[in-house]
C-alpha cells in the first residue's frame, strides 16, 4: 500500500484509509462484532494504517470496537476520532453540538479508555459549534496535545474562515469533509485554503454512500434506520436522475478493467497528493476492491473523460435535509 502525508506536518498514513462508522452505526443491519474485528485486522494486514471512528458512532460502540481490534497493532496504526456532540449517556440520543472546553476534555478521556490507548492520533471537531468560539476549541485541543493525550488537531465540515481562525491558534493537521465525484463543493474554496495552509484533506463518503459503486439503484430499498432513507439525494426519483453519472463512470472503469468504485477513488487520489479518502465497508471483498484503487494511475485521457462526464451531468438532490445542512460549512 502506498502512503501519503496528511498535510505539511501530519502523520504518514496509507493512501486509502478505512471509515469505520458503518460497522456499528448508520447502515443496517449492523454486522456481527466478531466479523468486524476480523475485517479491521485484515485491513491492517492489507496495508491500511489509517482508521476513522467517532464517539457518536453507535454511540460509543464504534470506538470500543476499534479499541479491541487494533490494540495488538496500536503502535503501527493512526486512529482518528471526533468530539463535538452532546450525547445523552443514558439514551444515546444526540442533543446538538457541544464543544465547550470541559466537554472536549471529558470526551478525550472517555475516547482514550474505549480505544484502549494513551493518545489520540487525530482528534477532529466533528461539527462546528456556533456557541463556542473556534479559538477556544483550538486552544483546548492544543492543551491536550501538549499534555500528550492528542497528537494532531482536525476539523470536520468546517468552512474556510473557521479553518483559518482555528489554524492561527493551533495548527490544523487535517480537514474531514464529504468530497466525491457527486459532491465537489470543496473545490471552490476549501481545497485552495488547505493547500495554502498545508492542511491534509480526508474525504468521507468518497463513494457517494455507495451510489457511485453501482450497487445502489432506483429500485434499492432502505430500512427506516438506514440514514440514507432521510437524505434527499437518495430519494428514488433522484437516484434515477443521477444514474447517468454512474453509467458514465462504469464505462470509463470498464475501459480500464477496473470497477466504478476504484475509478472514483483513484480520481480523488489524483486531485492532490495530500488527499486521503476513507471509504467505509463491512465486507472483505469491497475492502480489497477499494484498496486496489491505490494502484491505479489515471492518465490524462482518463481524467479528461471523467471531466467531460461530470460536465455533461447535473447531480440532483440536496446532500442533507435542512436541519443537518445547517451544521455544515460554518
Catalytic residues: 57
Q: Which long-range contacts (CB under 8 A, 24 or more apart) does 210-217 make?
A: 211/182, 211/239, 211/242, 211/246, 212/180, 212/181, 212/182, 212/245, 212/246, 212/249, 212/260, 212/261, 212/264, 213/259, 213/260, 213/261, 213/264, 213/286, 214/246, 214/249, 214/250, 214/260, 217/243
Name the helix (H) or strand (E) containing 253.
helix 236-255
Distances (CA, A) of 220 to 192, 207, 213, 273: 37, 16, 13, 35
Cell of 45: 494486514
- Say how many C-beta atoms besides its own lie within 10 A of residue 4's C-beta: 22
Phi, psi of 224 (to 5 degrees): -60, -35
Cell of 116: 484502549
Phi, psi of 232 (to 5 degrees): -55, -35
- Residue 303 bridge partners (DSSP): none
- Residue 19 bridge partners (DSSP): 52, 280
Q: Which of 43, 37, 39, 29 is nearest to 1 (CA)?
A: 43
Phi, psi of 49 (to 5 degrees): -125, 5
CA–CA dist 84, 108 (Å, integer)? 11
Amino acid at each position: 500500500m502506498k502512503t501519503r502525508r496528511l498535510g505539511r506536518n501530519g502523520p504518514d498514513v496509507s493512501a486509502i484509509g478505512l471509515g469505520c462508522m458503518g460497522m456499528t452505526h448508520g447502515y443496517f443491519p449492523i454486522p456481527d462484532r466478531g466479523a468486524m474485528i476480523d475485517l479491521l485486522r485484515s485491513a491492517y494486514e492489507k496495508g491500511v494504517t489509517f482508521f476513522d471512528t467517532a464517539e457518536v458512532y453507535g454511540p460509543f460502540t464504534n470506538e470500543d470496537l476499534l479499541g479491541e481490534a487494533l490494540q495488538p497493532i496500536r503502535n503501527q496504526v493512526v486512529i482518528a476520532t471526533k468530539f463535538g456532540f452532546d450525547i445523552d449517556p443514558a439514551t444515546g440520543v444526540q442533543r446538538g453540538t457541544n464543544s465547550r472546553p470541559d466537554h472536549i476534555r471529558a470526551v478525550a478521556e472517555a475516547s482514550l479508555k474505549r480505544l484502549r490507548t494513551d493518545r489520540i492520533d487525530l482528534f477532529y471537531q466533528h461539527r462546528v459549534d456556533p456557541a463556542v468560539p473556534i479559538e477556544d476549541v483550538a486552544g483546548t485541543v492544543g492543551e491536550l496535545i501538549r499534555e500528550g493525550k492528542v497528537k494532531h488537531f482536525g476539523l470536520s465540515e468546517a468552512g474556510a474562515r473557521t479553518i483559518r481562525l482555528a489554524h492561527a491558534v493551533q495548527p490544523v493537521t487535517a480537514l474531514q469533509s464529504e468530497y466525491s465525484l457527486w459532491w465537489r463543493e470543496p473545490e471552490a474554496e476549501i481545497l485552495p485554503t488547505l493547500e495554502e495552509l498545508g492542511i491534509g484533506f480526508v474525504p468521507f463518503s468518497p463513494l457517494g454512500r455507495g451510489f457511485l459503486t453501482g450497487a445502489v439503484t432506483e429500485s434499492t430499498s432502505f430500512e427506516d434506520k438506514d440514514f440514507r432513507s432521510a437524505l434527499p439525494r437518495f430519494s428514488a426519483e433522484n437516484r434515477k436522475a443521477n444514474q447517468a453519472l454512474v453509467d458514465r463512470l462504469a464505462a470509463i472503469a470498464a475501459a480500464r478493467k477496473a470497477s466504478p468504485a476504484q475509478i472514483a477513488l483513484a480520481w480523488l487520489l489524483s486531485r492532490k497528493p495530500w488527499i486521503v479518502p476513507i471509504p467505509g465497508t463491512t465486507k472483505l471483498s469491497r475492502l480489497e476492491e477499494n484498496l486496489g484503487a491505490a494502484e491505479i494511475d489515471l492518465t490524462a485521457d482518463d481524467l479528461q473523460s471523467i471531466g467531460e462526464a461530470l460536465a455533461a451531468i447535473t447531480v440532483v438532490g440536496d446532500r442533507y435535509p435542512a436541519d443537518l445542512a445547517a451544521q455544515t460549512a460554518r
